[in-house]
Structures are given as C-alpha cells and as structure tokens.
A and B are shown apart, each in its own frame.
Chain A
Amino acid sequence: MLKGMLEGRGRIWWAAIIILMFLLPFILPRFYLYLLSIILLTGLLATSLNLVLGYGGIFQFHHAVFYGAGAYGTALILTKTGLSPWVSFIVGPLVSAALGLIIGWICIRLSKLYFAMLQISLGSLVWIIVYRWYSFTGGDDGIHGIPLPDILSSSNNAYYFTLIVTLICLFAMYKIVKSPFGSTLQGMRDNPVRCEMIGINVKRQQLLALMIAGFFAGVAGSLFVVVDNTVFPDMLFWTLSLEICIMCLLGGWFTFLGPMLGAAIIIALRTFVSTYTTYWALVLGILMALVIFFLPNGVLGYIEEKIKKGFIEPVIKE
C-alpha cells in the first residue's frame, strides 16, 4: 500500500493524509493529540514486530522487551546523567538493538515454538531485573516526571516529534522490506532450506532482522518517554508482547501498514471502551477470537483480497 505513496494517484492521497496529520494540532483538543501520539508510536512498535513476525516468519513473542529497553534506556539517561537529552533518544534505541542482538544470538539456534519460549524466558529475565532493581530502575513504580528538553515539553511539539520520527522510521522500514534484504527475509520465511542452499547465511540474516526490529521498537519506546513522561515495568511484560502480536494480526500481518491500522483500532477501541466499562480485556479477548476465526489475514489483508486493483499491491501470501 505504501507503494502507492511513491507513484501516481496514490501519492496525492498520502500527501494529503500527512499534511492533515500535521494540521491536526490546530483542531484537536490535547487529549486526542496524546491519543494520536500513542497510536503512532504503538503502530511503529507493531510495524517493527511485523518486520520479523510477518515478513521474517520468526516467532518473536516477546517484542515488548525491546520497547521497554528503549524506553528505560532513554529515561535512565535523562534522569541519571547530565548528557544532552538528544543523546538519550539515540542511546535508547541502540540499547534495544544491542539487546535484540544478544537475545537473538541466544535464541536464533532454535526454531518456532522453542525460539518463542526461550525468548520469553530471556525477556522475563530482563523484566524481573527491571522490576526488582529499585535503586536503578525504580522497581515496580517505574520512573515518573522524566525531565524533557523544553522544546518537547508542550503536547503539540511532542506530537510533531512523534509524527516525524514515526514517518521516518516507517519509510526506513518500508525501504528495508523492499530492499534485497527484505526479499531475503521473506524468502527465508517461505523456504529456509532453499535459502540456505543458494548461499544465504539464514541465521545471520535473521539475526540482523531481529536487531533492526529491536532498534525500531526502541525508537517507539523512546517516543513513549517523550509523549508520556513515564516508564514502568509493565512495558516489558509478556502480555503487552502478545497484545502487539494481536495488533499485527488484526491489521493484517502480511501487509506493511496493517500493524499500524491494528494499533490504531485497538488503542482507539480501548480508550472508547474504558470510558464505559473496566472490562476492556474481555472485549479485547472476544475481538481477538473473532479476528482469528473470521479474519485470519486481518482487516487490510481482507480489503486487499477484495480489491486487487488500483494502487493496492497484491497480498503477500505464504
């Protein structure tokens, strides 16, 4: 779908949407801007997961760890050191990428469910350390009131910052998916043995993908610090990881923009439902079960199946 952005008629639509998003702060109240920022960064997180889950076919079941690591990396540098705040926004994602490399290196020798379980184990280890290390990470309280540079302290500017960074990251990930490396990734998903035969070092390429996904998840984590000013250990808990998986699935995990759409639907719905009832998990569970039964390719996947023409590119099928 993003392909349409770069050529022909679709380009105008996308340009219009992006300009509209830049104009939104003039119309929307503060709460909706905050919500939109959260949607953007969560969408970025889900897209980064989909890079390895949908395109790479790797069972990345504990993606939230990288999100949390990025957020904590940024938050700790902002609160504990006198370094420039901008350094922290770079260090956060780099911490996540490094963690992605370490966890990936340990897990990559296993496949499928074993990979997932070892990753959940390692991720839980990171979670416990964050949860228990009161003197350093603030334990289960997390860190609140993180000092931000003045330019980001207004909600409008935080929104603009999130929007710009998210757009840059989405563009970068789109380029990665369409690059030879992206094709290799999809090839390894569909037939790892054949990829190995034609001389691709499957493990190394997958490790690279895990690192890239970790990096972008870390960016999302840093953005969360900018938008929300807090970090807390639940950001690294495994239930969040599965929720991100649901976002990918709901939007369509064989499409590039699906995860973003899924994140938007789930967060908007959560905000809406929470005003009426405290039983959001029940609604989410039912929604998920319905999606798994009736929309296995997700919303975007379904739409693309229906309209296989215009500027919509064909569904990537397994």
Chain B
Amino acid sequence: MDLIYAILPPKVLAQIFVGLSRTTILFIVSSGLSLILGVLRIPNVAHGSLYMIGAFMAFTISKVFGGGDAGFWAALVGAPLGVALVSLLAERGLFQYLYEREHLMLLLLTFAVSLIFGDLVKIVWGAEYKSVPVPHIFQGYVYLFEGLPFPIYNLFLLIVGPIVAVALWLIVNKTKIGKISRAAAVDREMVGAVGINVSWVFAIVFVIGCLLAGLGGALVAPTVSVTLGMDHTLIIEAFLIVIIGGLGNIWGALLGALIFGLTQSLGILVWSQFGIVFPYAAVIVVLLFRPTGLLKSTW
C-alpha cells in the first residue's frame, strides 16, 4: 500500500473514486444518448430533460412509499419505466415523423421538446429543490485510503455502472432486437425490405435509450438536490462524451465518461476554481487529434 501512496497520494486516490462514481452517472445517461444517436441518428437534446424527469419521478415514488428503503428501490425501477413511457409518447407522437429530415431540424425539434418537458416538470413538481433520501443500507461512509471518507452510496454506483454496461452490451449484441437495430443503423431501407417494421424497432431503441436517461436520473437523485435546470449542463456533457467516444459506440461512451469524470474530479485538485474547465479542455484535445472520436463510430 505504501508504494501506491508514494505514486498516488490518498487524496488523489479518493478523488479518483469520486470521479468514478460521477463517471457511472455520466456513462448511464450518455450510453442511452449514444444508442439513440447511433441507431436513429437523432441528436436528442431532450435526453437531458428525461434524466431530470427521472430524478423528479424518483422523488415522487420514494415519497409515496414513505421515503424509506422500499421507496428507493421502487423509485429505481419505477422512475426509468415512467421515463420510458414518456419517451414512447414523444417518439410515437413527434419524432417518428422526422427521421428523414436533416440533423439541424431534429436537433431543434428535440430542443423544443426539452423546453416543453422543462416547463411540464415545473408545472407538475414546482420550482423548489427536492431531495431524495439515501436508503439505510447505503447511508454513511467507508474510510478508504488512510481515513478519507467515501459515501457508501457511491460504492453502490460503482457497482451499478459495470452492470449496466454489460447488460447494454448483451442487449445490443446478443438479442434479436439489438441485431436488427444495428442492421437498421447501417441500412434502414434494406431492413425494411426484408419485412421488419423499422419504425417500431426505432421506437424500441429510442425507449431503451431514454430508459437509461431515467435510470441515470433515479440514481443521481439521492446524491444531489433535484432541481429544474439540472438537465442543462448534463446534456452538453453527455453529448461531448458521445462525440469523443465515437457516435453510437457504447464502449466509446464508457471511455468518454471515464475521461470526463476523471478529468473533472482530478481537475478540482489541481485548480479548484476552474476544475470544471478540464473535461472540456480534454474534449478539445481529443477532438483535435481524433476528430471522429476515440473508438469506431457507427455512422
């Protein structure tokens, strides 16, 4: 252990762990975005709003269940499903008519939807800060690295991240819908020509992607104050992660989220006032040397 501390002081190690738990949230949200971008080619700005809706739904569900442990688990299941329902309505009602249009229009339409969602959240939940209690088993701290406290809930996040990554990989690569969606991403007309209803395949992929946004929101809810505007910075971060990872590549999203989360948490050690600058600078450096992202994009 002393050898490790000589290379990485405990403070740095603790900060890496903080960065990794941030990475988990970023990865879960941006992998959904990446899936949608890769298959449907929609730059979905409303993804951030769905993340926010997920967090608010988690608040409501956990409150309905009395705010205890049961409430947390119910929220973890219920909020993503609620978000999936909302996204299904949005996809069937709006987006499906615009797949052939250019990206600019799609981006602006999804921005319009995000504005609508933002105000609907304000109507339903109000503008006050909300907080979701951390369940009892995850309360408190563990003391890592010579006594630096680390919230147990964040350890839970570190476990959830890889599970989601593997599950998503299995869905995309091993299930029938995953294979069809990958084929549809490459050649939509051909897939339609062999008798598959591409429109519904797209809808399912869209819903899975948005479900991940809702899951991210439900997971982040106990660690932050749930509030309006929490979507604004997150969606930009998610887009940048997807871009530097390679559009539509799930491992790229993981890599991008790692870069983003770690540069952010370590940046704070280097320069606390402008720590948040580092991830953006990292994105710029990556895009200067690898303009189409680190890993292979599906486009």
Given contacts A242-B111, A281-B119, contact A109 B277 (CB under 8 A): no
A43 shortest CB reach to chain B, Å: 19
B102 shortest CB reach to chain A, Å: 9
| Binary A-proximity of B229-264 (CB < 8 A = 1, otherwise 0) | 000100010011001000100000000000000000
| Binary A-proximity of B268-291 (CB < 8 A = 1, otherwise 0) | 000001101100110110011001
Asked whether, in the complex, the Cβ of B123 is within 8 Å of the Cβ of A279, the reply is yes
**Dominant SS among interface residues on chain B:** helix
Given contacts A125-B281, A292-B108, A296-B105, contact A117 B243 (CB under 8 A): yes
A138 shortest CB reach to chain B, Å: 14
Interface assignment of A114: CB less than 8 Å from any CB of chain B: yes
Number of A-B pairs whose CB atoms are under 8 Å?
Answer: 110
Given contacts A281-B118, A282-B120, contact A114 B291 (CB under 8 A): yes
Which of A112, A245, A285 has a CB less than 8 Å from the CB of B115? A285
A180 shortest CB reach to chain B, Å: 26
| Most chain B CB atoms below 10 A, which of A61, A112, A278, A282 | A282
Given contacts A128-B274, A288-B111, contact A121 B280 (CB under 8 A): yes
Asked whether, in the complex, the Cβ of A239 is within 8 Å of the Cβ of B119, the reply is no
Q: Which residues of A contact B129 (CB under 8 A)?
A: none
Closest chain A residue to B292, Cβ basis: A114
Task: List which B84-112 residues lie within 8 A (CB) of chain A.
Answer: 94, 97-98, 101, 103-105, 107-109, 111-112
Which of B94, B116, B291 has a CB less than 8 Å from the CB of A282? B116
Asked whether, in the complex, the Cβ of B281 is within 8 Å of the Cβ of A282, the reply is no
Asked whether, in the complex, the Cβ of A125 is within 8 Å of the Cβ of B94, the reply is no
Closest chain B residue to A318, Cβ basis: B102
Closest chain A residue to B37, Cβ basis: A113
| Binary B-proximity of A281-308 (CB < 8 A = 1, otherwise 0) | 1101110110011001000000000000
Asked whether, in the complex, the Cβ of A132 is within 8 Å of the Cβ of B280, the reply is no
Closest chain B residue to A284, Cβ basis: B115
Q: Which residues of B contact A237 (CB under 8 A)?
A: 232
Q: Which residues of A contact B222 (CB under 8 A)?
A: none
The number of chain A residues with a CB under 8 A from chain B is 40
Interface assignment of A219: CB less than 8 Å from any CB of chain B: no
Asked whether, in the complex, the Cβ of B243 is within 8 Å of the Cβ of A285, the reply is no
Closest chain A residue to B98, Cβ basis: A292
| Most chain A CB atoms below 10 A, which of B113, B280, B283, B292 | B280
| Most chain B CB atoms below 10 A, which of A239, A246, A289, A296 | A289
Interface assignment of A72: CB less than 8 Å from any CB of chain B: no
Closest chain A residue to B240, Cβ basis: A121
Complex Cα spacing A177 to B283, Å = 34
Complex Cα spacing A238 to B116, Å = 17
Which of B107, B108, B276 has a CB less than 8 Å from the CB of A128? B276
Q: Which residues of A contact B101 (CB under 8 A)?
A: 296
Asked whether, in the complex, the Cβ of A118 is within 8 Å of the Cβ of B116, the reply is no
Interface assignment of A226: CB less than 8 Å from any CB of chain B: no
Complex Cα spacing A128 to B283, Å = 14
| Most chain A CB atoms below 10 A, which of B104, B232, B281 | B104
Q: Which residues of A contact B80 (CB under 8 A)?
A: none
Task: For chain B, give the interface size range.
Answer: 35 or more
Which of A53, A114, A124 has a CB less than 8 Å from the CB of B243? A114
Interface assignment of A110: CB less than 8 Å from any CB of chain B: yes
Interface assignment of A120: CB less than 8 Å from any CB of chain B: yes
Given contacts A128-B276, A292-B112, contact A113 B103 (CB under 8 A): yes
Task: List which B158-181 residues lie within 8 A (CB) of chain A.
Answer: none
Closest chain A residue to B276, Cβ basis: A128
Complex Cα spacing A121 to B279, Å = 10
Interface assignment of A87: CB less than 8 Å from any CB of chain B: no
Closest chain B residue to A131, Cβ basis: B276
Q: Which 7 residue pairs of A and B lie closest in terms of their CB atoms, listed nearest first?
A: A285-B115, A282-B119, A288-B112, A285-B116, A281-B115, A285-B112, A125-B280
Q: List 23 contacting pairs A-B, 8 Å CB cutoff, sorted by A.
A: A109-B291, A114-B287, A114-B292, A118-B283, A118-B287, A121-B284, A121-B287, A125-B281, A125-B284, A129-B274, A132-B276, A242-B45, A242-B107, A281-B115, A281-B116, A282-B116, A285-B115, A285-B116, A286-B112, A288-B109, A288-B111, A288-B115, A292-B108
Q: A114-B243, A245-B104 are in contact. List 15 more A-B contacts (CB 8 A).
A: A53-B104, A61-B107, A113-B247, A114-B291, A116-B107, A117-B243, A132-B276, A249-B108, A281-B115, A282-B115, A288-B108, A288-B111, A288-B115, A296-B101, A296-B105
A→B interface (CB under 8 Å): 53, 59, 61, 106, 109-110, 112-114, 116-118, 120-122, 124-125, 128-129, 132-133, 237-239, 242, 245-246, 249, 278-279, 281-282, 284-286, 288-289, 292-293, 296
